[in-house]
Amino acid sequence: MIIPKSHPRYVSLKTREQLVRGNRSGIVVPEGLIAHGRGEAFDYILGEKTGQSARNAITAAAALLLTARRPVISVNGNTAALVPGELVRLAQAVGGDVEVNLFHRGSDREKRIARTLRRFGASRVLGVGKDASSRVPRLASMRRQIDPSGIGDADVVLVPLEDGDRASALHRMGKKVIAVDLNPLSRTSRSANVTIVDNITRALPLLNREVRRLRRYDRKRLSRIVGSFNNEKNIVLAVKEITRYLDKWNGT
Ligand code: PTJ
């Protein structure tokens, strides 16, 4: 489908098309299309913009990734279809790795996602097939299967577009979790250490830019940024941004 750039909903339609193509090529599960629709509904009431709450979280996330001993970027079907290059660039910029970790696990899809990430420059992709030989304790979903040298060893994990229970399970393992989720009220958003309430398509380029900016800072300064960030308060700010946006429509 060709979408004219002049269409008022060009970005949204282009993003949908990327996911549909990802579905046809075996990267995105049909459930991923539904998940995206859920996200889009929240994006709509955020004004389809990156707000101050997301910007605060992006700065904290960049500082956390730069101070991590072993940062790992978890990749699922939707994110591989939407922002493959940004995910690989981020892992490289923070000296980490990308790991395929799927809710609807399937060996063919894992390999396709890994191939996509390699095509976008990843020199190695963790978590594929037998490499995901460790388990996250007390996690029922297939997402429990992790690579011992990746998420298993990580101190900081970026988990974009989650399904809820893994963020708290990783937290119980003593790992710091960065979430990207358009729903500020989701379980993932509430249990992560840093929640970026924004569309992954806007948040990842901004996060990469922030990592490049903060790379000049020394460790002490980066730790201060992480220490002064309060996720609970920042989620409240995201909710306020939504209500403020909605208020514009009811004349208040
Ligand atoms: O590829 P798999 O097998 O790992 O499956 C991936 C999906 C996304 C299908 C799976 O993780 C899932 O079912 O997720 P949920 O439970 O629907 O949660 C997805 C969350 O991501 C929801 O809170 C959405 O609001 C949010 N979301 C959807 N699209 C975006 C988004 N957040 C940021 N940017 C988006 N583009």
Distance between Cα 181 and ligand 1 center (Å): 8
CB of residue 180 inside a 6 A radius of ligand 1: yes
Residue with CA closest to ligand 1 atom 9: 32
pLDDT digits (tens, 9 = 90+) for 46-71: 999 999 999 999 999 999 999 999 99
CA-to-CA distance for 169 and 151, rounded, in angstroms? 12
Please give the pLDDT value at position 132. 97
Amino acid identity of 165? D
Residue with CA closest to ligand 1 atom 32: 181
Ligand 1 atom with the shortest distance to the CA of 101: 4
CB of residue 48 inside a 6 A radius of ligand 1: no
Could you count the other beta carbons within 10 Å of the beta carbon of residue 159?
A: 26
The residues that bridge with 98 in the sheet, in sequence order, are 73, 125
CB of residue 191 inside a 6 A radius of ligand 1: no
Q: What is the mean pLDDT of residues 222-247?
A: 97
Ligand 1 atom with the shortest distance to the CA of 164: 16
Please give the pLDDT value at position 252. 59
Which helix (H) or strand (E) segment holds residue 21: the answer is: helix 10-24
CA-to-CA distance for 209 and 55, rounded, in angstroms? 12
Q: What is the mean pLDDT of residues 155-162?
A: 94
Mutate to test the pocket of ligand 1, among 74, 78, 104, 113 (most ligand atoms within 8 A of CB): 78
Please give the pLDDT value at position 8. 76
Q: Could you tell me the pTM of the whole model?
A: 0.96
CB of residue 15 inside a 6 A radius of ligand 1: no
- Percent of the chain exceeding pLDDT 90 equals 90
Token pair recorded at residue 112: 């396709």
Please give the pLDDT value at position 82. 98
Q: Are strands 145-146 and 134-135 parallel, antiparallel or unpaired?
A: antiparallel
CB of residue 78 inside a 6 A radius of ligand 1: yes
CB of residue 36 inside a 6 A radius of ligand 1: yes
Ligand 1 atom with the shortest distance to the CA of 105: 3
Residue with CA closest to ligand 1 atom 7: 32
Q: Which tops the pLDDT comparison, 249 or 148?
A: 148
- Percent of the chain exceeding pLDDT 70 equals 99
pLDDT digits (tens, 9 = 90+) for 163-222: 778 999 999 999 999 999 999 999 999 999 999 999 999 999 999 999 999 999 999 999
CB-neighbour burial class of residue 187 (10 A; exposed 0-12, middle 13-18, buried 19+): middle
Token pair recorded at residue 189: 């958003």
